Amino acid sequence: MHKPSFSALSHLAAAAVLAIATGSAWADEATGQFTGVGYGMPESATPLTGNNTAPANWRVTQGMLFNGVNFDGNVRIDFDFDGNVIGGFTCSGTLIAGGTHVLTAAHCASGVNAMEIHHGVYGGVSTGVQSINTASNVFVHPGWTGALSTGADIAIIRLSTPITGVTSFNLSTTNDVGKQFLMMGHGTTQVGNVNSATNWNDFGWAHYGYNVFDATGTSFLNAASAMGLPGLGTWSSTFGEEYIADYDGLSNGTGTSTDPAVRHNTLGRIVGLTSNQGLGANEALIAGGDSGGGDFVWSGSEWVLSGVHSWGWQFCGGRLTTPNSCDFGTANSSSWGDISGSTAVFSHVGWINQVTGVPEPGTWAMMGLGLAAVAGAARRRKA
Ligand SMILES: [Ca+2]
Ligand SMILES: [Ca+2]
Ligand SMILES: [Ca+2]
């Protein structure tokens, strides 16, 4: 079903301050300004996490708990594609249950030959840092070809040393469309109604925010296609689903097409999709450097890892423009009206469990029988 061309979507991996990516240029068609790692736009164009007030208000600070849970397991991934010098690029990732593996995006791990995992990062100080042997401990989804939106933008990193003493996260096994989620990442930042590029001015801190999964990649593309919206590209869900979310604006109470809650409700302006107008001051969108980071859904007793940040898209340009464009500003790739895509974890639970060595339920049952048999044998021997 879906897969916008590379010219439309933008990786959310981000180059750190000094690195310059080279290669064939591509960028968001509306502005030409979103950076894709290794694909050639200057880092000065890199956007960041968009929130509704100053990024400092959205820091994940040391000791901060969300429903009683710490997010030290929201890791920063520093990496590079050439040579062995760390620090050219930054992504995010999540420590998954067991504490021995991190889940991230394929475009944060494929072709990477130098990598460090930082956990518990506060004010630029990491609680723990470890280097990864990328030749043997990086597992990119076998369907990944470099194309965004085939549902394969996901990768697993096996840690050199298990991370203990912090919360690690179970995987969501359900389709979570319609649910509110908590997003985490170490990427760039900006305020959503400021028409300036996201930046690294608050680097050293992770940031958080909230949104709602409005649609799957399939339902989004089907609805946009039915409206005849141009430039949607070719998509495919061959390897799994994605979750799409929009960055809703704060209402000014007028209820008109100039009301941000209406105007920037991008997915609500697509016929057939949810008209959800967002979470008010808590609403946010991912940005460059947040790639690979997690979207978490509260199950009632725990935060489960539901999505892995993949891309951002200034979708409005040339599509939803009447009477007003849904994009607050084209200089800010994480502004009100922009949209994001995350790889849906439920599509990949089997593959993740296979790579990390978590047995399937049937295997558990067999192991249980085996253990019982061994125990029985031991008892007999003893007797
Ligand atoms: Ca939204
Ligand atoms: Ca919306
Ligand atoms: Ca924008």
Cα–Cα distance for residue pair 172/345, rounded to 1 Å: 6
Q: How far is the CA of 317 from the centre of ligand 3 (A)?
A: 9
Q: Is the per-residue pLDDT at 192 higher than 70?
A: yes
Q: How far is CA 324 from the centre of its chain?
A: 29
Q: How far is the CA of 275 from the centre of ligand 2 (A)?
A: 6
Q: What is the pLDDT of residue 287?
A: 93
* Residue 382 · residue 375 · CB < 8 Å: no
Q: How far is the CA of 312 from the centre of ligand 2 (A)?
A: 15
Cα–Cα distance for residue pair 220/242, rounded to 1 Å: 10
Sign of CA dihedral 79, 81, 84, 85: negative
Q: What is the pLDDT of residue 212?
A: 96
**Ligand number with the minimum distance to the CA of 261:** 2
**Ligand number with the minimum distance to the CA of 247:** 1
Tokens of 77: 């991934």
Cα radius of gyration rounded to whole Å, the chain: 21
Q: How far is the CA of 184 from the centre of ligand 1 (A)?
A: 16
- CA-based diameter of the chain, in Å? 85
pLDDT tier, 11 (very low <50, low <70, confident <90, very high otherwise): low
Q: What is the pLDDT of residue 188?
A: 92
Q: What backbone torsions phi and psi does residue 171 show, to the nearest 5 degrees?
A: -90, 140
**Ligand number with the minimum distance to the CA of 279:** 1
Over range 91-102, report the average pLDDT.
97
Give the closest residue to 147 by CA, choosing from 218, 25, 216, 236: 236
Q: Is the per-residue pLDDT at 202 higher than 80?
A: yes
pTM as predicted: 0.84
Q: How far is the CA of 246 from the centre of ligand 2 (A)?
A: 5
Tokens of 96: 């998954």
Q: Which residues contact 34 (CB under 8 A, 6 or more apart)?
A: 10, 27, 28, 41, 45, 46, 47, 288, 312, 314, 333
Q: How far is the CA of 197 from the centre of ligand 1 (A)?
A: 20
Task: Give the model confidence (pLDDT) of 225-242 as tens digits.
Answer: 999 999 988 888 999 999
pLDDT tier, 82 (very low <50, low <70, confident <90, very high otherwise): confident
Q: What is the pLDDT of residue 198?
A: 92
Q: Is the per-residue pLDDT at 40 higher than 60?
A: no
By the CB criterion, residues less than 5 angstroms from ion ligand 2 are 246, 248, 265, 268, 276
| β-bridge partners, 313 | 339
| Three-state SS at 51 | strand
Task: Give the model confidence (pLDDT) of 174-188 as tens digits.
Answer: 999 999 999 999 999
Q: Is the per-residue pLDDT at 277 higher than 80?
A: yes
**Ligand number with the minimum distance to the CA of 338:** 3
Q: How far is the CA of 279 from the centre of ligand 1 (A)?
A: 7
**Ligand number with the minimum distance to the CA of 179:** 1
First to last CA, the chain: 63
Q: How far is the CA of 25 from the centre of ligand 3 (A)?
A: 19
Query: β-strand 48-51 against 188-191: which pairing, if any?
Result: parallel
Q: How far is the CA of 151 from the centre of ligand 3 (A)?
A: 24
Q: How far is the CA of 155 from the centre of ligand 2 (A)?
A: 29
